[in-house]
Structures are given as structure tokens and as C-alpha cells.
Amino acid sequence: MCGIVGIYNNGSGLPVTREALKAMNDLIVHRGPDDEGYFTHENVGLAMRRLSIIDLSTGHQPITNEDETLWIVFNGEIYNYQELRERLLARGHKFKTKSDTEVILHLYEEMGEDFPKELRGMFAVAIWDKRKKRLTLARDRMGKKPLYYAATPSCFAFASELRALLAVPGLPRDIDLKAVDSYLTLQYIPSPMSVFKGVRKLEPASTLVFQGGKLETKKYWNLPLGERKLDGTPVEELKERLRAELAEAVKIRLISEVPLGAFLSGGIDSSVIVALMAKASSEPVKTFSIGFKEAEFSELGYARQVAQMYGTKHTEFTVEASMASVLEKLAWHYSEPYADSSALPSYFVSRETRKEVTVALNGDGGDENFGGYIRYQAMKAAGYFTALPNWAKQAALKAMEPFPEKGGAPFNNVWRLRKFLQAVSQRDLSMTYLSTVSFFKSDEKERLLSPAFRNALGRDANFPERYIGGLFAEAQGSLTEKLMYTDLRSYLPECLMTKMDIASMANSLETRSPLLDHKVVEFAHLLPDNMKLRGFTGTKWILKEAFKDMLPRKIYSRGKMGFGIPLGPWFRGELRDYWADRCLSRKALGRGYFREEELRRLWDEHQRGARDHGYRLWALLMLELWHGQFAPDFKL
């Protein structure tokens, strides 16, 4: 696991210096504290920081082929590299190391830019082809490993994190207001956008070729859209296949030359992963859990049951409001506005886990693959309300106005019902979905954003609607399939994978996700809908059924909780002054994004308990903290 950077001065033709690469590389030292490496040749340079996991003695990067015409830097893990290595040896390739990095390089020799199709794992790769003067970048299918790039008249540059890319001299830092607007809706900035107009993200499952001053990106993988579902397959056969697929995905992720453990939340997904790890391991599994003082937000009791069942070496940690003192540090690590509040506990569980292990498995991907989100059930129920006239829906929303939400989102039933009614009032299913995941909906942004912001957006004002609508249109099949496809293409890579990569790598911890093995994902996509959602209460049915004998009964039968934090009470308590001092300061208000009276209304409603705006307040806070570090003097 590493961080990678590179510069190709194609426009200027100037030589790339080690000093220029080091300026970028030093900003991602947390991604790889064990080693660093550099390659420069004329106007091209590659560099990396290494967190040593496999082939500790000879895995130093950059790595070259036999005649030094190809050079590679690589961030990630390839789980089928030994199988690929044997194939390549049989075809006459010679290896100097035992690393997965060198396997990728020889695979490129065989397949050119199609090489990612053979890789099973998580990766961000850069290969310089000296003969063809061609730079090839690639990113894994599910978007586990990030890769930013920028093309200017003088150079092309790339980096694992945006902050490192900003070290390139002359890189424009014009803020993309379309990206900020998308952030306010979605809590993240979707690729290929970044917060800066001049910087892009390579999308998941994509390659990028830069040659002769021209840039081309293309997709090399997608979910098996249109393929025949496994409808006629007996249920027991599907369960057995799921158990086999996931057991293999766990087993190949236990390859490591350094200590290894697992995050254990107490939910179905991480509990299944720990159960399979325990079955495959000769030593007790090391498990790590995070919780809160506020009991309704904490799953520590459930995690403890799984730890006891499998005799794991278990560590627990409790997050409190006072620990939000690391928020400015988090804003620095994420490098662009990012508003998933579970980044805070993810950072702390990664920090505590890293004290004992270097690699941790997790349960990411279970909800998107097997239908675990409450919004999937809500969307099914929404069908019964669409026939109601719009005036009736609006009347129901109006009738709820006097009811307070002081109990806190997402556990307050008034908050949930209000969100549901807002969703079913939308014009089509894609907008119903968007309403369920939005922080600020279109009408709410209309009130919040200043006239100057709205005018500057122009035709980009409805980008989040077009983004989600496009994914819905691209998806095929039933409503359930459309929902999960949309999440797998948007929320999972752009929000959840971003959260976990940055939170873990900030602590020099590698995380692995068996449920996001692309073979598991493809199999799950072919399962019939009723294997995932049953009625309006049964979520992840087949996953629970396949592994129920390996889980405590309370884990098997419990509902979805989610990984939220107590934002409502925190912003009325310990974080009250912290938020007001930053988001209502003259400097923040002077940026010109928002109407001051609307900001104060949100703040007042939250303080009175009339509405729980915790998630929105968090998004506004993280936006301002980002500005303080990356664009302190910005004004519209």
C-alpha cells in the first residue's frame, strides 16, 4: 500500500527534478512511512511512498522491466498476483522481485492498456512507456484507491491525493462552483470533478492514456448489465455459492507479511467477515470496534457478542464530542470538501487499529450488494404513495411542521417521516432516490445560496439531478436493481471508499474489503431481487440466511443501524460555539456563498430543537474548514 505521484513535462520539455517530485511525495508520507522511491528521465518523473505489506525486502518502487523501457509506481494490493506471475513466467517473462507491482508491469507488456482486466484487487497504477512516450494510469473497479490528475499547457501530473498535486508549480486553483453545489447536495464531489476546475479524478474502473499531448480515458469494466439473472437457481445452491465466493474473497485478503486484523461494527457485514477470518485463521483474530457515549448511536454491545463467539482479541474505543478537535486535521487529509460525518469515527478506529496491526479487513459493500439500506425499503413503499395528488403530500408535510425533531436524526421518527414525505413528493424515481440521500435539496439550496452563487452556477445549477438521473437511466431492470446500481456507481466509490481510504491512510493503515471483491459484486448483481429485499422489512436476506449459523442470533435478527454520529446533540452542546465561531464569522459569511439570514435560521431551528439540521451543519462546517486551509481568501 502506497501513495504515488508523477510529472510529465510534455509541454515545456523541461527535465523533472527529484526536488519537484519530493515536494509532492512528502505530502503523502502518511500513506507510506516505510520507504520512498524516485525515477527521473529527462522530462518525466515518478515517485512513491511505501507502506510495506508484501515482499518487504525487494518490493522497492519504482520498478522497471528487463530493458528499463517501462517504469511503474503502484498503490494497492493485487490478490491474484501469484497466479498471474506463474502465467507470465510460462510465457518467458523474468522477474527480479516477488512483488505484485512487477507482475502488473509484465502484464502491461502482454496486454497494453487492457492490463487492469486481469487484476483482482484494489489499485491505482501509473506506467511510463519510454519507447512510446506514453503515460498510462489505471484505477480499480470499485474505486478503492484514488487517483487525481491535472493537465496544463506545460505538464501532465498525477497524485494519490489532491493535496500532493497542488505542489505542482503553476497549477490553477480556481474553485469549481458546480463541485461545491454538488457537495452541498451529495456530501461529496463526484468524479471526474474535483473542487478545483483544473484537477480531475480518474473514475473507478477506468484507464487514462496521455500521449502526444492528448488525453484519453475509457472504462474497462462495469456491472453485468442485461445478463440473465439467477432466478431459476435453487436457493440452497445460491447460498452455497455465496458462502464459497465470500470465503475465497476473505482468504486471499489474509495474505500479508505484517500483522492483520478486522474492523468489527456489530452489523451483519463486518460480523460475517470476522466469522470467515476466524474460520480461515490459526491464530485469534484481532478485532477493533468504535462506539459513542450516546447509547442509541453505539453498536459496541453487538460487536462484543461476535468477538466473544469467536474468541477474538478485541479492542474497543469510544468517540466523544471533544475529539472533534481533529476536524481541521481531517479537512487537511481529505483535501477537498467532504461531509460524511462517519469520517471522524473512521479516523479514530483506524488510529487505534494501527497501534496493533498494519492491515485491517472490513465489511464495506454489504449494503450496496445485498440491499441493506433503509432507503431501499422506503423506495419500495413510495410506490403506494405516488398515486396521491401532490396537494395531499404537501398537506401532510405542512401538518408536520409543528412537530420537533430534538430527539436527533436519524433515530427521531418525526425526522424519518418528514424525510420520507419529502422523497415521495418528487417528480420521478431518480429524484425520489436523490431526496433520500440529499443533505440540501434543490428548494432548500434555492433559499440557502446567495444570488451571486446561483448566477455563477448558471446551467450547472441542476447538476446533481442530472448526475443521479443519468445513473438511473443507465441502470437496467427493476427498481431495486436501479437503486443498487446507482449506489455502486456513486455513493459507494465517491463517498464510502473516499472516507475509508483517507481515514485509514492518514494513520498508515491498509484496509481490505472482501465484500467488494469484483467477483462477489458480479455474483450479487445477478441475484434475484427477492434474494436481497423481502417485503418492507427484510434486507440482505440471502446474506443473513447464508451465514446465520455463524452469527449470534441477535446479530442475525437485528435491523440496519448505520454508522452515524450524534451530531444533533453535539451541535447543541460541546460543538455549539465551535460551529458558530467558524460558520457565522465575518470571513465565512464574506465568501458570498450563502444568505446570512438562511444560515441563522438553520442554526436557530437546530438550537430550539424544532428541526435536526445536524448533517447540514456538519457539511457547512467542513466546507468552511476546507476553505480555511486551501482557499482562505476566496470570495465570490
**Active-site positions?**
2
Burial class of 47 by CB neighbour count within 10 A (0 to 12, 13 to 18, 19+) = buried
Residue 519 exposure: Cα atoms within 13 Å on the Cβ side: 18
By the 10 Å C-beta count (0-12 exposed, 13-18 middle, 19+ buried), 214 is classed as: exposed
All 3 cell numbers of residue 425? Answer: 413528493
CA 266/CA 199 separation, integer angstroms: 38
Look up residue 290 and give its three cell numbers: 468504535
Handedness of CA 372, 376, 381, 383 (dihedral sign): negative
Report which of 552, 553, 533 is spatially closest to residue 543, judged by C-alpha positions.
Answer: 533
In single-letter form, the type of residue at position 573 comes to G
Write out the DSSP string of 167-208. TSTT----B-HHHHHHHHHHSS--TT--SBTT-EEPPTTEEE
Are the C-beta atoms of 592 and 636 separated by less than 8 Å?
Answer: yes
Query: Using CA atoms, how far apart are residues 13 and 294, in angstroms rounded to an integer?
Result: 59
Q: Does residue 234 have a cis bond before it (omega within 30 degrees)? A: no
Grid coordinates representing 115 are: 492490463
Which residue type, as a one-letter code, is found at position 330?
L
Q: Provide the β-strand partners of residue 178.
A: none
The answer to whether the Cα torsion of 329, 334, 336, 341 is positive or negative is: negative
